[in-house]
Structure 1
Amino acid sequence: MDGFTEEQIAQWGLTFGVGGFILYMVFIIVQLARESKAGKFGTFVLFLVLGFGMLGYVAKQVIAWLLNI
Structure 2
Amino acid sequence: MIFGFTEEQLAGFFLTYGVAAFILFMVFIIGHLAWQSKAGKFGTFVIFLGLGVGFLGFVAKFIIQWWLEK
How far apart are the structure 2 equivalents of 1:29 and 1:51?
Answer: 12
Which aligned segments of 4 or more residues in structure 1 are displaced greater than 4 angstroms?
Answer: none
Q: Using the TM superposition, give the Cα deviation of residue 68 of structure 1 relative to its aligned residue in structure 2, in angstroms.
A: 2.5
SS at match of 1:37: coil
Tell me the TM-score normalised to structure 2 length. 0.77
Letter in 1 for 2:17: F
Counterpart residue number, 1:17: 18
CA drift at 1:44: 0.5
Partner of 1:61: 62
Q: Identity, % of aligned pairs?
A: 63
RMSD (Å), alpha carbons: 1.8
5+ unaligned residues in a row in structure 1: which ranges? none
Q: Compute the TM-score of the two structures, normalised by the length of structure 1.
A: 0.78
Q: Does 1:48 align with 2:58?
A: no
